[in-house]
Amino acid sequence: MIPRSLPPAASAALGRRHLGVPASAEKLLLPFVSVCFVSVILVLSAISGLAASSAFFARCPSPADVHRGAAHLPAFAYYIVGGRGDVRRVLRLLLAVYHPRNRYLLHLSADAPESERSDLAARVWLTIPAARAFGNVDVVGKAGAMTPMGSSGLAATLHAASALLRLDDGWDWFVTLNAADYPLITQDDLIYVFSDVPRNLSFMDHTSDLGWKEEQRVQPIIVDAGIYLAKRKNYFQASDNRDTPESFKFFTGSPWVILSRSFVEYCILGWDNLPRTLLLYFTNVILSEESYFHSLICNSADFQNTTVNNDLRYMVWDDPPGIEPHLLNTTDYAEMIKSGVPFARQFRHGDAVLDKIDSTILKRRNNKAVPGAWCSAKKWWMDPCSQWGNADIVKPGPRAKEFARLMQKLLNDWKSESNSCLS
Ligand SMILES: *[C@@H]1O[C@H](CO)[C@@H](O)[C@H](O)[C@H]1NC(C)=O
Ligand SMILES: *[C@@H]1O[C@H](CO)[C@@H](O)[C@H](O)[C@H]1NC(C)=O
Ligand SMILES: *[C@@H]1O[C@H](CO)[C@@H](O)[C@H](O)[C@H]1NC(C)=O
């Protein structure tokens, strides 16, 4: 596939700036326009002496270098979202979860200026040599709105899932992360533990016990202005409420999910009508990302048995809960580590606890990727991940044990219940 070998900086920055076609960067996600991209890059590099194309030919490894699929170690597709001013946070998070086996799609929402998007692409290109060579990081060129309470965020997530399906046929799980999130284990640990997990399982926190949410989150009818008005980031609420649905059972939970590839295909490819009819309903639901995937998976006979009722995130909620969990800091460190979960949310930009996670758990140096078993540069002054070897090998660290224990417990619960959607 051609998009895979496009340098990310070129795909985001060149696309918008130099092609006169609207939405050109967006189309980097579609194979037929990517072909145009390659020729445009060639022409541009001939004219302006860009280094992009020579790097592209010289360093592109053969896809056969990384083995993925059912018989091999799993791979993840990360969708990382941020807003205005989040370039550094998104880059830091990317460095903390980077692995050549995985695929990454970065999205700065429409409130961020165009310059931040090309800045992000350029920084990825400069900071992660492996991302240049493996071509596994893309930046969404034409950003969508992300109204805090509205459905434009769900639209962006579905768009990302669809793009990731098209860009890459090798990943097993779709993981949503936000610029305020951070991992608590290395990718080597994550891949190692997930290698024992059936690939058709999805991880999401859900319940049909709606409680206070029924009146405040289920019944109000809203319209997200970000979907049809340029430069708007609010929503309108109808004066009337509607009844809680009867034709399907409403589930709600945490908006942060890890979805199996088969479930993502079910959502996107639409051979069944349920994903579409629910989407039409959820367009007017407040905070639809807390409920769409949850209601869909639990109302689908084919997928309800594949749901593990846990989102694998460490979050601490205030009482009564706000829209977002509270900001984690060094006081939370010990509890956070004890939990064994792979991700935590949410952190203040540059909080000291992130440095502690970097130095203690991830062994990550400033502005460098986490040194996994794939990194092979040995000289002490070099970034270990500036050279690489076999990306089919992972070396689990001490944290993998705790996560494996948690996963075993979750899988046992899942086996004994088999259908978490009944509760
Ligand atoms: C899901 O599990 C239930 C038992 O809990 C079983 O009756 C049903 O056939 C399973 N569905 C699928 C698609 O495996
Ligand atoms: C999930 O995949 C396993 C094989 O890995 C299969 O045996 C099982 O039936 C699948 N479960 C469902 C509910 O589709
Ligand atoms: C962490 O946050 C809590 C409140 O959320 C606060 O009480 C505590 O003092 C903070 N700890 C540090 C080290 O800043």
Cβ(239) – ligand 3 distance below 6 Å: no
- Tell me which H or E stretch contains 109: none
What average pLDDT score do residues 357-384 get? 93
Question: What residue has token string 């639209």?
Answer: 155
User: Which atom of ligand 1 lies nearest, measured to the CA of 304?
Assistant: 1
Model confidence pLDDT, tens digit, residues 147-158: 888 889 999 999
Supply the pTM of this predicted model: 0.85
Q: What is the pLDDT of residue 408?
A: 96
Q: Are 91 and 98 in contact (CB under 8 A)?
A: no
Closest CA to 14 of 46, 47, 37, 39: 37
- Tell me which H or E stretch contains 82: strand 76-82
Q: What is the pLDDT of residue 386?
A: 92
> Quick one: CA dihedral 156, 157, 158, 160, positive or negative?
positive
Q: What is the pLDDT of residue 230?
A: 77
Cβ(262) – ligand 2 distance below 6 Å: no
Q: Which of the four pLDDT bands, split at 50, 70 and 90, describes residue 237?
A: confident
Q: What is the pLDDT of residue 90?
A: 97
Q: Which of the four pLDDT bands, split at 50, 70 and 90, describes residue 418?
A: low
Q: Is 60 exceeded by the pLDDT of residue 7?
A: no
Cβ(326) – ligand 3 distance below 6 Å: yes
Model confidence pLDDT, tens digit, residues 262-299: 999 999 998 999 999 999 999 999 889 999 999 999 99
Ligand 2 pocket, mutate which of 200, 263, 303, 421 (most atoms under 8 A from CB): 200
Q: Is 70 exceeded by the pLDDT of residue 331?
A: yes
Q: Highest mean pLDDT: which of 9-13, 26-30, 123-127? A: 123-127
Q: How many angstroms separate the CA atoms of 220 and 281, rounded?
A: 12
Q: What is the pLDDT of residue 319?
A: 82
Q: Is 60 exceeded by the pLDDT of residue 141?
A: yes
Percent of the chain with pLDDT over 70: 84
Model confidence pLDDT, tens digit, residues 292-321: 999 999 999 999 999 999 999 999 988 887
Model confidence pLDDT, tens digit, residues 171-227: 999 999 999 999 999 999 999 999 999 999 999 999 998 887 888 888 888 888 888
Q: What is the 306 CA–ligand 2 centroid distance (Å)?
A: 8
Q: Which of the four pLDDT bands, split at 50, 70 and 90, describes residue 244?
A: confident
Model confidence pLDDT, tens digit, residues 102-139: 999 999 999 999 999 999 999 999 999 999 999 999 99
Q: What is the pLDDT of residue 16?
A: 32
Considering only CA atoms, which residue is closest to atom 3 of ligand 2? 198
Cβ burial of 209 (10 Å; 0-12, 13-18, 19+) is exposed
Q: How many angstroms separate the CA atoms of 159 and 138, rounded?
A: 14
Structure tokens at 215: 């009146």
Strand-pairing partners, residue 177, are 80
Q: CA torsion 404→407→409→412, rounded to 10°?
A: -120
Q: Is 80 exceeded by the pLDDT of residue 423?
A: no
Q: What is the 366 CA–ligand 3 centroid distance (Å)?
A: 24
Residue 255, sorted as left (phi over 0), alpha (psi -120 to 50) or beta, turns out to be alpha
Cβ(200) – ligand 2 distance below 6 Å: yes
